[in-house]
Amino acid sequence: MSNEENQIPQRQNSEQYATLQTIMELQRSIGQLTESVNSLRTSIERQEMRFDRFESKVDDKLNQLSEIKTSLLFAGIVLLILLIVGGFLVNKSWDLMVKTVTVSASKEPSSGSILQK
């Protein structure tokens, strides 16, 4: 056997070893990438759950604010109606009092009257 024939199998073994080593490194890298993708997927799912909870809380607060707004609007309308009715009653009472004072002043002598003409 010549020296050349002996070197060919060694070269083939060396190339096969290098190829096998490269394949193993690629498999390790693919495993790391797969683990990273799975970790990112889990992280995204957790963030989506947090966001859903946050969104639910915001919706609840918006509903509460809407209810408060409706209550304040209703209370404002009731207060306005009470003020209108109260103003009407005060006006009519004032008119009645002025008539009463005017009638009693015209019946009494001018020296003791409240209103003087």
- Per-residue pLDDT at 43: 96
Distance of CA 51 to the CA centre of its chain: 11
Question: Which structure tokens are listed for 57?
Answer: 């809380």
Least confident of 14-18, 35-39, 51-55, 113-117: 113-117
Question: Which structure tokens are listed for 34?
Answer: 């797969």
**Which tens digit of pLDDT belongs to each residue from 26-77?**
999 999 999 999 999 999 999 999 999 999 999 999 999 999 999 999 999 9
CA–CA dist 91, 41 (Å, integer): 74
- Short-list 77, 59, 78, CA closest to 67: 59
Query: In Å, what is the CA distance from 28 to each residue of 25, 37, 49, 70?
Result: 5, 14, 32, 63
Residue 32 within a domain: yes
Residue 49 within a domain: yes
Residue 45 within a domain: yes
Residue 112 within a domain: no
Confirm if 115 and 102 have CB atoms less than 8 A apart.
yes
- Per-residue pLDDT at 117: 47
Residue 95 within a domain: no
Give the total number of structural domains in the chain. Answer: 1
Residue 87 within a domain: no
Residue 16 within a domain: yes
- Per-residue pLDDT at 15: 82
- Per-residue pLDDT at 95: 92
CA–CA dist 113, 105 (Å, integer): 5
Residue 61 within a domain: yes
Model confidence at 2: pLDDT above 50 = yes
Domain with 27 in it: 1-75
